[in-house]
Amino acid sequence: MAEIAEGGGGGGHDKGKKRAKKSSTKVDMTPMVDLAFLLLTFFVLTTTFAKPKVMSLVYPAKLTDEELKDIEPTKINNAITFLLTEDKIYYYEDEFFPKGNPQGEPPTELKETNFSPDGVRALLAKGNKYVIQERERLEKLVESKQMVDSVFTKKMIEAKQNKKALKVLIKTDDKATCKNFIDLVDELKIADIGMIAPVDILKSELDLLKAKAK
Amino acid sequence: MPKSSPSIDMTPMVDLAFLLVTFFMLAASIRPSDPVDVDIPTSISDMAIPANVVLVTVDAGGRVFFKMSDPEAKRELINSMMGKYQSLKLTEKQVEEFTLMETFGCTVGELPQYIDLSTDERRQFNTSGIPYLDSTKNQLKDWIDFGNRAAVNSGRTAYEVAQMDGLNPDPKDFVPKFILRVDSKTLYANAQKVIDVFRELELNNLNFITSLEMAPL
pLDDT tens by residue, B71-114? 888 989 998 888 888 888 888 888 888 888 888 888 888 888 88
| CA B145 to chain centroid | 17
User: What is the C-alpha to C-alpha distance for residues A39 and A45, in angstroms, rounded to an integer?
Assistant: 10
pLDDT of A118 over the 60 cut: yes
- Is B135 in the A-facing interface, judged by CB distances under 8 Å? no
CB atoms within 10 A of CB B210: 25
Query: Given a cut of 70, is residue A28 above it in pLDDT?
Result: yes
Helix (H) or strand (E) holding A184: helix A178-190
Name the minimum distance, in Å, from the CA of B37 to any CA of chain A: 14
Instruction: Give the pLDDT score at A12.
Output: 46
Query: Which of residues 79 through 138 in chain A touch B, CB cutoff 8 A?
Result: 84, 117, 121
Mean pLDDT, rounded, for A23-48: 83
Does B54 contact chain A (CB < 8 Å)? no
What is the four-CA torsion angle of B26, B207, B133, B37, rounded to 10 degrees? -20
Distances (CA, A) of A213 to A123, A173, A175: 20, 11, 11
Q: Flag whether residue A7 sits within 8 Å of chain B, measured between CB atoms.
A: no
Buried b (16+ CB within 10 A) or exposed e, B109-132: ebbeebbeeeeeebeeeebebbbb
> Across residues A25-46, what is the average pLDDT?
84
pLDDT above 70 coverage of chain A, percent: 85
Which residues in chain B (5-24) have CB-CB distances under 8 A to chain A? Answer: 5-8, 10, 13-14, 17-18, 20-21, 24
Percentage of residues of chain B with pLDDT beyond 70: 95
**Interface contact A174, partner B, CB < 8 A:** yes
Residue B64 has pLDDT above 70, yes or no: yes
pLDDT for res A145: 82
Read off the pLDDT band of B164 (50, 70, 90): confident
pLDDT at residue B1, rounded to an integer: 59
The answer to whether A57 contacts B42, with C-beta atoms less than 8 Å apart, is no
Return the number of other C-beta atoms located less than 10 Å from residue B11's C-beta. 9
Contact state of B6 with A4 under an 8 Å Cβ cutoff: yes
CB–CB contact A84 B211 (8 Å): no
Average pLDDT, chain B: 86
Q: Give A45's pLDDT tier (boundaries 50, 70, 90).
A: confident
Q: Residue A164 above 50 pLDDT?
A: yes
Interface of B with A in 96-125 (CB under 8 A): none
Query: pLDDT-derived band of residue A19, with 50, 70 and 90 as boundaries?
Result: low
Rounded to an integer, the average pLDDT of A101-120 is 81
Mean pLDDT, all residues of chain A: 80
Average of per-residue pLDDT across B134-159: 88
In chain B, residues with a C-beta closer than 8 Å to the C-beta of A30 are none
For residue A53, what are the contacts with CB-CB under 8 A and spacing of at least 6?
B43, B45, B46, B47, B48, B49, B209, B210, B211, B212
Find the mean pLDDT for residues A10-36: 69
pLDDT of residue A7: 45
CA B199 from chain centre, in angstroms, equals: 21
Does A103 have pLDDT greater than 80?
A: no
Examine the pLDDT at B146 and tell me if it is beyond 50.
yes
Query: What average pLDDT does this structure show over A8-25?
Result: 58
Position B197 pLDDT exceeds 80: yes
Q: How far is B197 from chain A (nearest CA, A)?
A: 10
Which of B31-40, B44-53, B138-147 has the lowest average pLDDT?
A: B31-40
A175: nearest CA in chain B? Answer: B187
Which among B21, B58, B187 has CB closest to A36?
B21
Find the residue in A nearest to B53 (Cα): A54
DSSP bridge pairs for B177: B53
- pLDDT of B204 > 50? The answer is yes
pLDDT score of B178 more than 90: yes
Element holding A34 (H helix, E strand) = helix A30-46
Strands of A88-93's sheet in order across: A111-113, A88-93, A79-85, A167-172, A195-198
Predicted structure pTM score: 0.78
Q: How confident is the model at residue A1, as a pLDDT?
A: 47
pLDDT value at position B181?
92
Q: What share of chain B is helix, strand, coil (3-state, %, to 5)?
A: 45, 15, 40
Least confident window among A32-46, A93-107, A116-130, B110-124: A93-107
- Which pLDDT belongs to residue A94? 79
Q: Which among B10, B187, B205 has CB closest to A58?
A: B205
CA distance B174 to B159: 6
Q: From CA B203, how far away is CA B159, in angstroms rounded?
A: 21
A75 Cβ under 8 Å from any chain B Cβ: no
User: Quick check: B45 and A37 CB within 8 A?
Assistant: no
Distance from CA of B171 to the nearest CA of A (A): 19
β-strand pairing of B205-212 with A53-58: antiparallel
- Residue-level pLDDT at A11: 44
Of the pLDDT bands very low, low, confident and very high (cuts 50, 70, 90), residue B30 is: low
More confident residue, A108 or B99: B99
Residue A3 has pLDDT above 60, yes or no: no
Section A119-125 average pLDDT = 86
Identity of the residue in B10, B188, B211 whose CB atom sits nearest the CB atom of A53: B211
User: DSSP per residue over A186-212, as a string?
Assistant: HHHHHTT--EEEE-PPPHHHHHHHHHH
pLDDT for B56 equals: 92
